[in-house]
């Protein structure tokens, strides 16, 4: 394990919820987080957030 400045202890208390998305090119449905969402199936950035 590598760390900068010493070890840290992180405890997550809430589960991260992804946004439901659909790709306009291949119609793949998936969940994602972040601002620049790309389809994991075809790599397209023509994605619509459903939530």
Token pair listed for 8: 């840290």
> Mean pLDDT in each 10-residue stretch from start to end of the chain (51 residues)?
55 77 96 91 95 65
Dihedral angle over CA of 37, 42, 27, 35, nearest 10:
0
- pLDDT, residue 16, reads 75
Rounded to whole angstroms, the Cα distance separating 41 from 37 reads 12
Contacts of 41 (CB under 8 A, 6+ apart): 23, 26, 28, 30
């Amino acid at each position: 394990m590598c760390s900068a400045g010493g070890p840290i202890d992180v405890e997550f208390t809430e589960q991260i919820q992804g946004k439901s998305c659909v790709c306009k090119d291949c119609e793949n449905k998936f969940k994602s987080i972040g601002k620049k969402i790309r389809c994991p199936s075809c790599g397209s950035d023509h994605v619509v957030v459903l939530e």
